Amino acid sequence: MKEGPDIARIASLIGDPARANILTALMAGKALTASELASEAGVTAQTASTHLSRLVSGGLLILRRQGRHKYFALASDEVAKVLEGLMGLAAHGGHLRTRTGPKDRAMKKARVCYNHLAGEMGTRLFDRFVGLGYLDRSGNSLRLSPLGKSVMVDFGIDVDGLAGARAPLCRECLDWSERTSHLAGSLGRSLFSRMVDLGWAKRDPAGRAVIFSAKGEQAFEAFLSAKA
């Protein structure tokens, strides 16, 4: 009778309303921070913290540390499948959450991640920088090449000043909506703030979305289509 895997342990993990809300919020596939999940779940940060650590140690979530943030995501497709199955069982009178409003589309295209550029445009910039040889991604480290440095200087960034600071110059930041990396670090921040200074884009004051002007987007594209 006490045979088999401990499904009660897993099920009771999912069975708490706050944790169920957290898991449901993560069904969208994006990773969210602890604070975001706390507000999704409708509990305080302390409570969410204990829930999240339980979910991680229970194998339902995985954790990515990124600076002073912690990003949580579902651990695997199997987890998502089980949750989907549970939703099916539970859908007697309930309806599925609806997502992907117009705001989400803007967020997906371009948004700030702390103070650097993320979303489609952020990841394209990163990929292109690597392809053009501006960034050198050998081994685990990410470094700015001499070519990349001269391009950045031409763009109006004080690379030497940044390099003197303690903070790392270049860092990869996993972009969860695109499932690939974008550029973080002090260079990433400077790059974005330079774009804002140039009038290419501005931040949505209400959220994390970044709105490029038409001219700004053209300039951005031209910047990326420089020949190697």
Partner DNA sequence: CCAATGCTTCGATTAGCATCGAACTATGAA
Partner DNA sequence: TTCATAGTTCGATGCTAATCGAAGCATTGG
Contact residues for a copy of itself, defined by CB under 8 A: 1-17, 19-21, 23-25, 39-42, 57-60, 75, 78-79, 81-83, 85-97, 111, 113-114, 118, 176, 208
Binding partner selected for residue 90 from DNA, a copy of itself, none, CB under the kind-specific 5 to 8 Å limit: a copy of itself
Q: Give the count of alpha carbons within 13 A of 111, CB side only.
A: 18
Minimum separation from the CB atom of position 39 to DNA (A): 10
Pick from 114, 155, 176, 223 the residue near DNA by CB under 7 A. 114
Minimum separation from the CB atom of position 58 to a copy of itself (A): 6
Which region among 61-69, 88-96, 153-161, 216-224 touches DNA (by CB under 7 A)? 61-69
Q: How far apart are alpha carbons 52 and 47 in whole angstroms?
A: 9
Under the binding rule (CB under 7 A), the answer on residue 227 touching DNA is no
x-marked contacts with DNA along 157-196 as a string, rule CB under 7 A: ----------x------------------x--x-------
Binding partner selected for residue 153 from a copy of itself, DNA, none, CB under the kind-specific 5 to 8 Å limit: none
Binding partner selected for residue 94 from DNA, a copy of itself, none, CB under the kind-specific 5 to 8 Å limit: a copy of itself
Under the binding rule (CB under 7 A), the answer on residue 24 touching DNA is no
Under the binding rule (CB under 7 A), the answer on residue 12 touching DNA is yes
Nearer CB in complex with DNA: 116/124: 116
Minimum separation from the CB atom of position 217 to DNA (A): 25
DSSP the chain: ---S--HHHHHHHHTSHHHHHHHHHHTTS--EEHHHHHHHHTS-HHHHHHHHHHHHHTTSEEEEEETTEEEEEES-HHHHHHHHHHHHHHTTT--------HHHHHHHHSEEETTEEESHHHHHHHHHHHHTTSEE--TT--EE-HHHHHHHHHHT--HHHHHHSSS-S-EEEEETTTTEEEEEHHHHHHHHHHHHHTTSEEE-TTSSBEEE-HHHHHHHHHHHT---
Q: Which amino acid is at 180?
A: T
Residues at the site binding DNA, with contacts judged by CB under 7 A: 12, 16-18, 33-36, 43-54, 67-70, 114-115, 167, 186, 189
